Each structure stands twice: as C-alpha cells, then as structure tokens.
Amino acid sequence: MIILGSAGGGAGDADGGAGKVSLLVSAAEDAVKAGAHAGNIVKAVAGIVGGGGGGRPNMARAGGRDASKLDEALAAGRDAVASLA
C-alpha cells in the first residue's frame, strides 16, 4: 500500500492553499485480496486533518483543512496498514 500526503495549495488558490491537505491511498491487487480497502483507510486518516474522502478498494483520495496534523494522519495510515499484516 502507498499512502501519500501533502500540505499547502497551488499559486492559484486565493489564500495560497495555507492549511489545505491532500491525501492519496493506493492498494495493490494482492493487498485488496488480503482485505485492504484504500477508501476506508483514507476516510479514517482524513478525519484527523479535519476533512473527508473515500474511494474504491484500490485507490482513494481525500482532503482536509488542518495541515498541522498531517504527520499524525500519515502515522495513523501506517498503523492501519500494519494492522492488516
């Protein structure tokens, strides 16, 4: 599984994207067969950064508003993946 997160926005954002968070979770076919669900993981992780999202078992995206909690959210994602093993 891959869990990516970024904070900040693009130059086109009115406020420069300050505080915005983007998250992406991707799960390989083998991981999905073993019970992983990217949509469930990204939904739980997004809640930590004050956002929401979802998606398919193999790929999901989310956004949030609290970039200060991005490290905490990524750690929670790693914990969720580790619990599948």
Cβ atoms of 66 and 50 within 8 Å: the answer is yes
Q: How many whole angstroms separate alpha carbon 48 and alpha carbon 68?
A: 10
Extract the tokens encoding 78: 């790693």
Residues 6+ positions from 35 with CB-CB distance below 8 Å: 84
Structural domain spans, the chain: 2-9+17-82
Cβ atoms of 60 and 39 within 8 Å: the answer is yes
Over residues 4-63, the pLDDT tens digits come to: 999 986 554 555 556 799 999 999 999 999 999 999 999 999 999 999 999 999 999 999
Over residues 47-72, the pLDDT tens digits come to: 999 999 999 999 999 999 999 999 99
Cβ atoms of 34 and 57 within 8 Å: the answer is no
CATH of domain 2-9+17-82: 3.10.310.40
Q: At what angle do helices 38-48 and 70-82 cross, to 10 degrees?
A: 150
